Amino acid sequence: MFLTNLTLTNYRNYEYETLNFGEGVNVILGENAQGKTNMMEAIYVLAMAKSHRTSNDKDLIRWNEEYAKIEGRAEKRSGSLTLELLISKKGKKARCNHIEQQRLSQYVGHLNVVMFAPEDLNLVKGSPQVRRRFVDMEIGQVSPVYIHDLSQYQKLLQQRNHYLKMMQARERSDEAVLDVLTEQLVLLAAKITLRRRQFLSLLEQWAMPIHYEISRGAEQLCIRYEPSVDVSEKAELSRIVEAYSETFAAMREREVLRGTTLVGPHRDDIAFFVNGKNVQTFGSQGQQRTTALAVKLAELELIFSELGDYPILLLDDVLSELDDFRQTHLLDAIRKKVQTFVTTTSIDGIKHDIIQEAAIYRVHSGSVTAPS
């Protein structure tokens, strides 16, 4: 899978820009605050229908404009694909092969990307919310059903929390309403829990040998899913539903007292262990970075195994954050099989022939000079 063309209209600091890309490595070169990351973000938004940098879509629209538009053309094993995302102050409209998609969950997954940016190093040492978001975004690329279930869960969670707040304030006391909301939430929570567990099991299978190689055979990586309910690693959906029902029943009085939902996928976490020790707590910065890199490279292989196409890799100012050995391992891993976009202020410090062979796009003040 590779992106052959990208057109930006009123996107961030780009008034209008259209570019063609090669199948290999494309370097976006320029000083800071010129628009390198904005272009990288645009590719990510075209694929995922949301930004990795902001939750406010209005931030994506050029100053004093009414809308932003991202258009792209991609080549996949299944054929050519045209994508269009219109972002306005009223919301988003997505088209795939010129057909408007009724739901964004139907749109996401047509173009697959893996983003690796400096903030992704927080995947290991950051908050549980960072790790949950990572898992949700990656599963969503290979499973539209998961996006739908997660969206429904979040809506129900909001309703349930609102009702618990009213019960806490004694504005409502009908427990039958809470029962209905809980029953609906339980099934969705169980489906999400099961899918996350399956995904993380596959991710671990791919990440373990990659991590072992990067650590020169010195370290063994394990990824542990930590759901907010106590279920065995082999529990079926029916048993997970049962566990959630039992937990909600036991937590009922506390939830009313606190006015919020205390268990569910929104409180899950993931733990990374190297040689039996939690990397977040006991790992060195080097071990944390090796873990993050192994996980990102594992994503590429997992998506390929699921879809038969490698995703596009976006390296946003991350090469300078890696030492020479990890940098070389990353670039060797993608050689001639993954279309890659790299943003950097300079290629002088990148000691790899793959960069010397790359197409260089120079960015200055929201204008791009393509390679001749």
Ligand-binding annotation for 37, yes or no, is yes
Residue type, 79: G
Q: Show the 3-state SS of 349-364.
A: CCCCHHHHCCEEEEEE
Ligand-binding annotation for 32, yes or no, is yes
Choose among 2, 291, 308, 299: nearest CA to 140: 299
Ligand-binding annotation for 9, yes or no, is no
Helix (H, G, I), strand (E, B) or coil at 88: strand
Ligand-binding annotation for 242, yes or no, is no
Ligand-binding annotation for 343, yes or no, is no
Ligand-binding annotation for 152, yes or no, is no
What is the distance, to the nearest Å, from the Cα of residue 53 to the centroid of all Cα atoms in its chain? 11
Helices (H), 169-314: 175-214, 237-258, 279-282, 285-307
Q: Pairing between strand 359-364 and 67-76? A: unpaired
Ligand-binding annotation for 36, yes or no, is yes
Burial of 200 (0-12, 13-18, 19+ CB in 10 A): buried
Helix (H, G, I), strand (E, B) or coil at 201: helix
Residue type, 257: L
Run of H or E residues at 150: helix 144-168
What is the distance, to the nearest Å, from the Cα of residue 38 to the centroid of all Cα atoms in its chain? 17
Ligand-binding annotation for 30, yes or no, is yes
Quote the tokens at residue 145. 């059903």
- Give the Cα separation of 180 and 352 in Å (integer): 59
Binding-site residues: 30-37
Q: Which residues are annotated as a binding site for ATP?
A: 30-37
